[in-house]
Structure 1
Amino acid sequence: MVNSKIQAAEENLIHVYNRFPIALDHGEGMYLYDTEGKEYLDFAAGFAVSGLGYDNKELNQALKDQIDKLYHTSNLYFHESCGEAAKELNRISGMDRVFFTNSGGEANEGALKAARRYAYTKKTGRYEFIAMQNSFHGRSFGAVSVTGHDSYREPFEPVVPGVRFAEFNDLDSVKALVNDKTCAIILEPLQGEGGINLATQEFMEGIRKICDENGILMICDEVQCGMGRTGNMFAWQGFGVKPDILTMAKAIGNGIPVGAFAMTEEVAKYSLQPGDHGATYGGNPLACTAVKTVIEIFEREDIVGHVNQVAPYLTKKLDELVDELDCVVRRKGKGLMQGIEITKPLAEVNKKTIEEGLLIIQAQGNVIRSVPPLIVEEKHIDEMIEKLKRALA
């Protein structure tokens, strides 16, 4: 049965994903199940999306209730869930104004446009961006243009001009690129796709200082590292370094397609104006219901507190793997966004973890990325470690 479903998909879809040979059927909590009933412990969370895991009854019911009322309308009209979601998202993110999109890539596109529009309104003549090597910001032209991997950009060149790349965690390399045309610096406080690379306190503070001294906007991409994953609702809060523009997606909707970019009142006042930007489905009632409900559950269940309670155990167990297995070189990351660099081929390890009933994903630098649902418990970490050990043996 599974093979027929996979074959049907292969025959009708454009082959842009290196899919694993699994046809998933349903999920519950920390586990996913395929069409043959096999159980998989999920330490990928749909690329850090399913923070609340699978089949959360409260979220399910809220979405069902909203579907019965209204799930799409033109953005020319207000609807209650959009206003509530925006208010709550601004409150937990520390920002002032928000625009809803359908994905993280779209959120980053909006952030880039907002930065250029700000410079245009202020008549600064600035239009260039400084981005980071090993960064990842999405697949659209603007997002690809600020992504620090040649392999992502080269097939689509010429990409958007005016982008320069600095070395992550190297302030001098950033300073060397700043000029009177620089309008914004974009970075992930914790790089995901690029290899689970955590910014240093000095680097974050240094970027903020460079921006303040030169009239440059600081954009933090928290599409993956935001919404509780690092032990704060958003990673910038752990550094105490507030950006001018913040992008987010993934876990804010727990699987419902939604993203957002938020900004300070200052940036909002001088950047995007009516007609400058839009999204037909952005901020639709269903997506906004997901956002406000996810925030309600996060706060009531103290998901961030749980992350801070269980993350040290994950850190400890991954560090033990480094000490125990020759093929595990090092651990890196923060909170429930961690990675281990290995010397074995990742494709081979992935195949074995699937056989073991464990779902993992990779990152640049031969890194196994560990981004489980934020409801993970120590028993799940123990189970993951045992399965991973067998796969790495």
Structure 2
Amino acid sequence: MSQSHIHSAPGIGEPHRAPRTADAYTEVMVPVYSPLDLLAVRAQGATVWDAAGKEYIDLSGGIAVNALGHCNPALIEALTAQAHRLWHISNTYKSDSTLRLAGALIRLTFAERVFFANSGAEANEAAFKLARRYGLQQSPRKYEIVSAQNSFHGRSLFTVSVGGQPKYSNGFGPAIEGIRHVPFNDLGALEHAVSENTCAVVLEPVQGESGVLPATREYLACARALCDRHNALLILDEVQTGVGRLGTLFAYEHFGVVPDVMTIAKAIGCGIPLSAMLTMARFAEHLGQGTHGTTFGGNSLACAVGEAALHAISQPELLYGVLERHDYLVSRLRQIGERYGVFDEVRGIGLLIGCVLAEPWHGKARDVAKGALTHGVMVLQAGQDVMRLAPSLNISYSEIDEGLARLEALAQELNHETVNC
């Protein structure tokens, strides 16, 4: 490249060169995503504005990430204060904010040890590697991991292999061996699959990506008993359900089943890349020095925000508010579903809610999400037949009402289209 060409290149962030349209997204991004037609530029609470100034009510919560809403003042304060002190020093040294967050997580959970990473996939990768190390130190055959069909645990090669959705693992060569998948909530299948060769059972307390399907208490209790019987680790993937989403600080508290390993992400950073694997000291020792690691995981900036988020979300009044908002939202959504015939079922726990689309809209969850966007409300899909809501845990009732009004307008439109087909 010539020197003159280098000098003529536009500067980063020059206004006349910065992409400002939704169409420009496809010109610069690797096409692994298919985002809806919204170019967000500003947000506050549960309200988002696009580049044209249109307002949207956000009932998606950044896929359960923005647990305290957009631009939360307490998080901004924590982020700004830490930014003026220390951003990153690496895990070669010790950081005070990292130690504070680890200590807070240990005080608030069953755990005695914490490993920080940047994403849910990384937290799960650490958990699965721990399980393999734990099992193989008992027997060379004890490396099998039992997981649920239609589960989702991340996008790394290990986590897509453990996840029970072949569409995410196909096309990347041979899957990692030793993974067994069983139907979710099927006690008999789980009992048949777990053996002396099992090093871990991995479950989501609520299958989020596959339709917002809660586990039964009996199923998780059975998993706990089987792991105890066969000396395997019970790993609960709380990437989506943890940190207040279900109205308890962690989902295992709601179900009354304590795991050996728990993974969290999403809400712990409220949008800052942060995740964690939590476990007991006797299991943590199997990941000794040099067996695993991360450059950015647990950096000072992320942990300072995580500490502020955890403090806010762990307050009893906020957790109780999640339960109150659940009742309010589910009641209103069921009324909309019955009035316009668009939902067969509204299910979920806390503020992880799935609206199962009625037969005329089976397989059209993405189309419904697109339609919601045209009405100024942001929702998610969970599989092909379920509209998913995962709003901020402190979303205001005025924002809920406005979002529901817009969803009702969408339901009325869908019903009208069906009647006139």
TM-score (norm 2): 0.90
- Aligned partners of 1:118, 1:32: CA distance in 2, in Å? 45
Q: Which of 355, 368, 381 matches 1:349?
A: 368
5+ residue gaps, structure 1: none
Instruction: Give the Cα separation in 2 of the matches to 1:169 and 1:246.
Output: 19
Which residue among 252, 266, 279 is the counterpart of 1:263?
A: 279
Q: Which residue of 2 aligns with 1:370?
A: 389
Task: Give the letter aligned to residue 333 of structure 2.
Answer: L
User: Per-residue deviation at 1:17?
Assistant: 0.7
Partner of 2:84: 68
| In 2: Cα distance, 1:302 partner to 1:290 partner | 20
- For 1:25, the aligned partner's letter is V
SS of 2:75's equivalent in the other structure is: helix
Q: 2:380 aligns with which of 330, 345, 361?
A: 361
Paired AA for residue 207 in structure 1: A
List per-residue Cα deviations over 1:351-370 (Å, max 9, x = no partner): 22111110001001410001
With 180-189 and 84-93 compared, the bigger mean Cα shift is at 84-93
Shift of 1:257: 0.4
Partner of 2:351: 336
Which of residues 216, 219, 223 is equivalent to 1:207? 223
Task: After TM superposition, list the pairs within 5 Å mapping 1:1-40 onto structure 2.
Answer: 4-40=20-56
How far did residue 384 of structure 1 move? Answer: 2.0
Question: Is the CA contact (8 Å cut-off) linking 1:313 and 1:378 kept in structure 2?
Answer: no
2:299 aligned residue (274, 277, 284): 284
Question: Per the alignment, do residues 263 and 191 of structure 1 end up closer, same or farther by CA in structure 2, a change over 3 Å counting?
Answer: same
Name the counterpart of 1:227: 243
| 1:311 corresponds to 2:326 | yes
Contact kept? 1:349, 1:392, Cα under 8 Å: no
3-state DSSP class of the match of 1:107? helix
* 3-state DSSP of counterpart to 2:254: helix
The match for 2:214 among 192, 198, 211 is: 198
Deviates more, 1:58-67 or 1:346-355: 346-355
Do structure 1's residue 120 and structure 2's residue 139 form an aligned pair? no
- CA distances 1:148-195 after superposition (whole Å, capped 9, x unpaired): 112112222311110010111111001111222111000000110011
Contact 1:129/1:184 (<8 A) preserved: yes
Shift of 1:318: 2.1
Q: What is the aligned partner in structure 2 of residue 166 from structure 1?
A: 182
- 1:224 shift after superposition: 0.3
Instruction: Look up the match of 1:186.
Output: 202
Aligned pair 1:107/2:123, yes or no?
yes
Moved more, 32-41 or 374-383: 374-383
Structure 1 Cα separation of the partners of residues 199 and 384 of structure 2: 30
Q: Secondary structure at the match of 1:233?
A: coil
Q: Are 1:387 and 2:406 matched, yes or no?
A: yes
For 1:198-218, what per-residue CA distance to the aligned partner results, in whole angstroms no more than 9, with x for missing partners?
A: 000111111101111111110
**Corresponding position: 1:130 with 2:130:** no
Moved more, 276-285 or 321-330: 321-330
Report the RMSD for the aligned CA atoms in angstroms.
1.7
SS in 2 for 1:376: coil
Structure 2 match to 1:324: 339
- The answer for unaligned runs of 5 or more in structure 2 is 1-15, 413-421
Residue aligned with 1:321, SS = helix
Give 1:247's aligned residue: 263
Maintained 8 Å contact 2:336/2:411: no
Q: Max radius of gyration: which structure?
A: 2
| Partner SS, residue 302 of structure 1 | helix
The letter for the 2-side match of 1:379 is: S
Q: Which amino acid aligns with 2:401?
A: D
Q: How many residues align?
A: 392
Shift of 1:23: 1.1
Cα deviation for residue 20 of structure 1 reads 1.2
Secondary structure, in 3 states, of the residue corresponding to 2:221? helix
For residue 228 of structure 1, give the secondary structure of its aligned residue in structure 2.
coil
Distance 1:161 1:123 in 2: 16
CA contact (8 A) 2:212 2:354 kept: yes
Residues 211-238 of structure 1: per-residue CA shift (max 9 Å, x gap): 1111111000000011111110000111
CA contact (8 A) 1:134 1:195 kept: no
CA distance in 1, matches of 2:315, 2:327: 22
Instruction: Tell me the equivalent position of 1:293.
Output: 308
Structure 1 residues 235 and 300: CA distance shift in structure 2, 3 A: closer
Q: Does 1:84 align with 2:100?
A: yes
C-alpha deviations, 1:129-157, integer Å up to 9, x for none? 00001110000011100111121122223
SS for the counterpart of 2:193 is coil
**Native 8 Å contact 1:341 1:365 kept in 2:** no
